[in-house]
Amino acid sequence: MSTDQPTITVCDATLRDGSHACSHQISLEQIRAYAKASEAAGFDYLEVGHGNGLGASSLQVGESLVPELEMLAAARAELKHTRLSVHVMPGFATIERELKGALAAGVDLFRVGSHCTEADITQRHISHVRAAGRHVWGVLMMSHMVSKEVLLQEARKMQSYGAQGIVLMDSAGAYVPAEVTAKVGHLAAALEVPVGFHAHQNLGLSIANSLAALEAGARIVDGTARGFGAGAGNAPLELLAAVLQRQGYVTSIDLYHALDAAELCAKLFAGSLPVSNGITIVSGLAGVFSGFAKPVQRAAAQLGVDPRDVFFELGRRKVVGGQEDLILEVASELARRAQPTPTP
């Protein structure tokens, strides 16, 4: 193995993105069991919480089985070398109610995210974490929706607030590798802080995209065990671990334990493992937030419309993450349009 290959930070988002895959019903037992395995596998960070981050347990995006602080405490107790991270979305999470509690719970890294054009709403949250002496990254969500120039401009804002890393999320699973190369490369060349990539599997390209990101200069990569995450899932960690090793990247991953963690995940979350199907494919094509898959299916079923039509319409309206309420409006509208006009 070459020693001048870069060191890659690997973030395990299984207990956060996976929340989307099981309608946010992750239990304390599952958290404890998986956290142990993640620690053994040597991932750098384990992210825990609701799919939309701190404070997101809601009617809007689904309620968590377990209160947030209990989830964090359970994971915290199992982790020694692997660090605990959380996802934070201003607009859902407030400093007073959510951030302070998470700081007290011993979270090591706060990944504060906004829609890819709205970085300035993260200023106060990022600053607060830095002032508290903890680590913080900025996250740009739905990053497929804008140009690399816009992404860099937004990333620079987060960097100026004190973000110590910037993660580009492919929240819709919409990217192809060339786009990843262009965008990650553009940021990696200009930012002082490391750049990361968070892939989704909707178009079957999560590993290819993750690899392209690393080759373009990303030093942080996200994945989940068995891809356990929203929509068609994320870049599977066990595959990432294998590919990282094959390409000679330096990580702290123990391959066998990483594979074991994937096996454990399959057992723990059997029945909720993500699959690729017509819904997730259309979701990726339409560029819609992957987490919409379940609510779209539910609303479409209730209102008697084709979920794929709902996705394309949501995509046409350029809906962003967190706007799950629009699913009902769109589905209702499609149902209304499909009704035959009453005969006079």
The letter for the amino acid at 101 is: G
CA distance 8 to 82: 14
Residue in the structure block whose two tokens are 């199907």:
277
Give me the least distance between CB of 125 and another protein, in Å please.
Answer: 8
25, 27, 117, 247: residue in contact with another protein (rule CB under 8 A): 117
CB nearer to another protein: pick between 285 and 328 = 328
CA distance 238 to 261: 8
Question: Candidates 8-16, 147-155, 209-217, 225-233 — which segment interacts with another protein by CB under 8 A?
Answer: 147-155
Structural tokens at position 325: 């309420």
Q: Are 271 and 218 in contact (CB under 8 A)?
A: no
Give, as ranges, the residues between 120 and 139 that touch another protein (CB under 8 A). 120-121, 123-124
- Confirm or reject binding of residue 320 to another protein (CB under 8 A): yes
CB nearer to another protein: pick between 33 and 326 = 326
Q: Are 23 and 233 in contact (CB under 8 A)?
A: no
- Confirm or reject binding of residue 297 to another protein (CB under 8 A): no
- Confirm or reject binding of residue 298 to another protein (CB under 8 A): yes
Is 87 a catalytic site residue? Answer: no
Structural tokens at position 233: 């899932």
Whole-Å CA distances, 111 to 11, 46, 120, 271: 11, 12, 15, 29
CB nearer to another protein: pick between 58 and 164 = 58
H-run or E-run covering 276: none
Give, as ranges, the residues between 86 and 105 that touch another protein (CB under 8 A). 90-92, 94-97
Give, as ranges, the residues between 201 and 240 that touch another protein (CB under 8 A). none
Residue in the structure block whose two tokens are 């990053």:
143
CA 10 remoteness from chain centre: 13
Question: Candidates 37-45, 66-74, 272-280, 320-328 — which segment interacts with another protein by CB under 8 A?
Answer: 320-328
Give me the phi and psi of 219, to 5 degrees please: -120, 5
CB nearer to another protein: pick between 5 and 160 = 160
CB nearer to another protein: pick between 32 and 97 = 97
Give me the phi and psi of 136, to 5 degrees please: -145, 135
What is the contact surface with another protein in residues (CB under 8 A)? Answer: 58-60, 90-92, 94-97, 115, 117-118, 120-121, 123-124, 149-150, 153, 157, 295, 298-299, 302, 317-320, 322-323, 325-326, 328-329, 332
Which residues are part of the catalytic machinery?
A: 20
